[in-house]
Structure 1
Amino acid sequence: MYSIAVPDNYGAVIGVALGAIPVLGFIHGAIVSGLRKPSKVVYPHTYATVEECKSNAKAEQFNCAQRAHANFLENASQTMLFTLVAGLKYPQLATAIGSAWLLCRALFLYGYVYSGKPQGKGRMMGGFFWFAQGALWGLSVFGVGRDLLSL
């Protein structure tokens, strides 16, 4: 039988991975929902058309919010997993990098939706989330994964 030792300070890792990241996902969804009515994009449609965006600035903003949310969903689950796994060996580092990822994702959302830059180019202000995500992946695979393979 194998066991995995969880460090004493693993609660902070759980707080970031299973607490803060899902809360940011909820915020994404709330922003998209709040922009749906002013954008005049009715269910079940996911995005406004190019023509709708040309005549309604809220439609363009809705598309940016929807895309920011989709990009978040594309990356959140693996980041949660990487944070939890990396935290088994490096709890403080995983918490810090996971928190940096959250900050960058919040900046990505803000820049994409509220910066007013054309074609969502404001998202670049939070684009450094890729570095945090890569660091968590590296800690998981090379730091913890190596230890797990030796069991």
Structure 2
Amino acid sequence: MVAIIVPGNYGAVIAVALGAIPVLGFVHGIITGKQRKGAKVPYPHSYATIEQCKENPLAEKFNCAQRAHANFLENAPQTMFFTMVAGLKYPELAAGLGALWVVFRALFLHGYVYGGKAQGMGRLRGSLFWLVQGALWGLSVFGVGRDLLDF
């Protein structure tokens, strides 16, 4: 039997993992929806075509918003999980890294959609989220996992 002890200051971990990260996902959805409307890309089409992008600059902006949102959805679940697991041993560090991940993801979104650079290259200023995500993974696997699995 393994007993998992949740530290008293685990609330900050929950606030980031189950609060801030989902709120950022909601913001992604709002921005993507607004861009879709301006680009006049009807459902169920996920992206504007190359022809639509040539005709309407807002279509390219929509594609950038849609891709930023998809990338967020690809990365948010494991980041939430890593934050919660790492927070079992390192609650302040995990909450801080999770919050930093949210900041970098917001910069990624803003740069991708509003950066004004070709092919969404403005996203690069927020791409440090990868390092933060890696740090959370490392804390989860090597910091907490080692204790739970005794390896």
Judge same fold: TM > 0.5, yes or no: yes
User: Offset at 1:78?
Assistant: 0.2
1:110 matched to which residue of 2?
Answer: 110
| CA–CA separation in structure 1 for the residues paired with 2:108 and 2:74 | 14
Please list every run of 5 or more consecutive structure 1 residues that lacks an aligned counterpart in the other structure.
none
Query: TM-score, normalised on structure 2?
Result: 0.98
- Following superposition, the deviation at residue 51 of structure 1 comes to 1.0
Identical columns (%): 70
**Which residue of structure 2 lines up, in the alignment, with residue 47 of structure 1?**
47
2:2 aligns to what SS in structure 1? coil
Is structure 2 residue 149 aligned with structure 1 residue 149?
Answer: yes
- CA displacement at 1:37 relative to structure 2: 1.5
Letter in 1 for 2:105: R
CA RMSD between the two structures: 1.0
C-alpha distance in 1 between matches for 2:96 and 2:150 = 27
Contiguous gaps of at least 5 residues in structure 2: none
Q: In structure 2, how many angstroms separate the alpha carbons of the residues matched to 1:150 and 1:125?
A: 39
| DSSP 3-state at the match of 1:45 | coil
Relative to the length of structure 1, the TM-score reads 0.98
Shift of 1:39: 0.3
Return the alpha-carbon distance in structure 2 between the equivalents of residues 50 and 2 of structure 1: 54
Structure-2 residue corresponding to 1:127? 127
Deviations 1:60-108 (A, max 9, x none): 0000000000000000000000000000000000011111100000000
SS in 1 for 2:148: helix
Question: Which residue does the alignment assign to 1:13?
Answer: 13
The AA in structure 2 aligned to 1:72 is F
* Residue number in structure 2 paired with 1:64: 64
After the TM superposition, list the runs of 4 or more consecutive aligned residues in structure 1 that deviate by more than 4 angstroms. Answer: none
